[in-house]
C-alpha cells in the first residue's frame, strides 16, 4: 500500500472535518516569476485557484470558507498592480456571481469600505444581497481587511455604547467584543492554511484564530486546488485539539 492509499478518505459527513477553513492566498507573484510571466498573470491564475477551492469546499461539505483576498497593507503595492487586482475582483464577481448563486454560495465581505472604487463596492453589495439566503456554503472574502483595524473598530464601537449609556463597562467581555467584529455570527476558523511557504498570518483574523490549527504549504496559491486542500485537512484531522485542556491521550 502506498502512502497515498493509506490516507483516510475525506467525507463531508465526518465530524472530524473542519467547519470553517480560512486561507491566506499567497504566492501569485512568485508563481509568475517562477514561470517567467508577468505578475498580472499570476493574479489571474490565482482567481482560477479560488474557483477550484470554492468548488472543492462545497463538494467536501465545508460550511464556511474565508479567503484573504486583499489586505489593508496591500495599498502600498505599485498602482498598476492594485488596479489589476481591483479589476480582477470586478471580473470575478461579474463572471462568477450567477454560478456561485446557483450553487448555493452565500457571500459575505469583511474589511473596510474606504478607498475602494465605488463601482467595485456596488458589485460587492450586489453579490452579498443576491446570495444572502443561500445555504450550501458561506464564502467570506476578506477584502481591504486588517485584523488590528477590525479589533480597534470593535473596541471603539463598545466605547461609544458606554458613552451613550447603552452599555456598562462591566459588560465588555470576550463575547461582546467578538459580537462587534466583522465576523459576528461566524464560527472561528478551525483550520487556517497559508500557501507559498511563509510562516506568518499577516494581520489576518488575529482575534478569531486564538485556537485555530495552522497548516503552512510550500505551494504557491495558483497551484492550489482540491488536492492541496485535502492535504491540509488531513494534517488538521491528525491533530488533537485541546483548547487549553488536557490531552485525551494523557493517562496521568
Residues 115-160 pLDDT 10s = 889 999 999 999 999 999 999 999 999 999 999 999 999 999 999 9
Per-residue pLDDT tens over the stretch 42-91: 999 999 999 999 999 999 999 999 999 988 888 888 888 888 889 889 99
Single pTM value for the model: 0.90
Is residue 144 within 8 A of residue 120, CB to CB? The reply is no
Whether 227 shows a pLDDT value over 90: the answer reads yes
Q: What is the pLDDT of residue 75?
A: 80
Closest CA to 20 of 224, 239, 209: 209
CA 136 to chain centre: 17
Whether 243 shows a pLDDT value over 80: the answer reads no
Closest CA to 27 of 204, 196, 143: 196
Q: What is the DSSP letter of 24?
A: E
Q: 3-state DSSP call for residue 86?
A: helix
Residues noted as catalytic: 26, 74
Among 11-15, 127-131, 148-152, 163-167, name the one with the lowest average pLDDT: 11-15
Average of pLDDT values for 2-24?
70
242 pLDDT band, cuts 50/70/90, is confident
Measured CA to CA, the distance from residue 233 to residue 21 in angstroms comes to 9
Whether 235 shows a pLDDT value over 70: the answer reads yes
Q: What is the pLDDT of residue 11?
A: 58
90-103 in b/e form (b: 16+ CB < 10 A) is eebbeebbeebeee
Whether 197 shows a pLDDT value over 50: the answer reads yes
64-84 in b/e form (b: 16+ CB < 10 A) is bbbbbbbbbebeeeeeeeeeb
Phi-psi region of 110 (alpha: psi -120 to 50; beta: other; left: phi over 0): beta
Q: What is the DSSP letter of 169?
A: G
Q: What is the pLDDT of residue 115?
A: 83
Closest CA to 96 of 124, 70, 59: 124
156-168 in b/e form (b: 16+ CB < 10 A) is eebeebeeeeebe
Could you write out the three-class secondary structure of 77-135? CCHHHHHHHHHHHHHHHHHHHHHHHHCCEEEEEECCCCCCCHHHHHHHHHHHHHCCCCC
Question: What are the φ and ψ backbone dihedral angles of 64, each rounded to 5 degrees?
Answer: -130, 130
Query: How much is the mean pLDDT over the chain?
Result: 91
Amino acid at each position: 500500500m502506498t502512502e497515498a492509499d493509506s490516507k483516510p478518505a475525506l467525507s463531508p459527513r465526518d465530524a472530524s472535518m473542519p467547519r470553517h477553513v480560512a486561507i491566506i492566498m499567497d504566492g501569485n507573484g512568485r508563481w509568475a516569476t517562477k514561470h517567467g510571466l508577468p505578475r498580472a498573470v499570476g493574479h489571474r491564475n490565482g482567481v482560477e485557484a479560488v474557483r477550484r477551492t470554492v468548488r472543492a469546499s462545497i463538494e467536501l461539505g465545508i460550511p464556511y470558507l474565508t479567503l484573504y483576498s486583499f489586505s489593508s497593507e496591500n495599498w502600498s503595492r505599485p498602482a498598476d498592480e492594485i488596479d489589476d487586482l481591483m479589476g480582477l475582483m470586478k471580473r470575478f464577481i461579474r463572471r462568477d456571481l450567477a454560478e456561485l448563486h446557483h450553487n448555493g454560495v452565500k457571500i459575505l465581505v469583511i474589511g473596510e469600505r474606504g478607498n475602494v472604487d465605488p463601482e467595485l463596492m456596488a458589485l460587492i453589495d450586489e453579490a452579498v444581497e443576491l446570495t444572502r439566503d443561500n445555504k450550501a456554503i458561506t464564502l467570506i472574502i476578506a477584502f481591504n481587511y486588517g485584523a488590528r483595524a477590525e479589533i480597534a473598530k470593535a473596541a471603539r464601537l463598545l466605547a461609544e455604547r458606554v458613552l451613550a449609556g447603552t452599555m456598562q463597562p462591566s459588560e465588555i467581555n470576550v463575547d461582546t467584543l467578538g459580537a462587534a467584529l466583522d465576523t459576528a455570527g461566524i464560527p472561528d476558523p478551525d483550520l487556517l492554511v497559508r500557501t507559498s511557504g511563509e510562516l506568518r498570518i499577516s494581520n489576518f483574523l488575529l482575534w478569531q484564530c486564538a485556537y485555530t490549527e495552522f497548516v503552512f504549504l510550500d505551494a504557491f496559491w495558483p497551484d492550489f486546488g482540491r488536492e492541496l486542500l485535502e492535504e491540509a485537512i488531513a494534517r488538521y484531522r491528525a491533530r488533537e485539539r485541546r483548547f487549553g485542556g488536557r490531552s485525551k491521550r494523557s493517562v496521568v
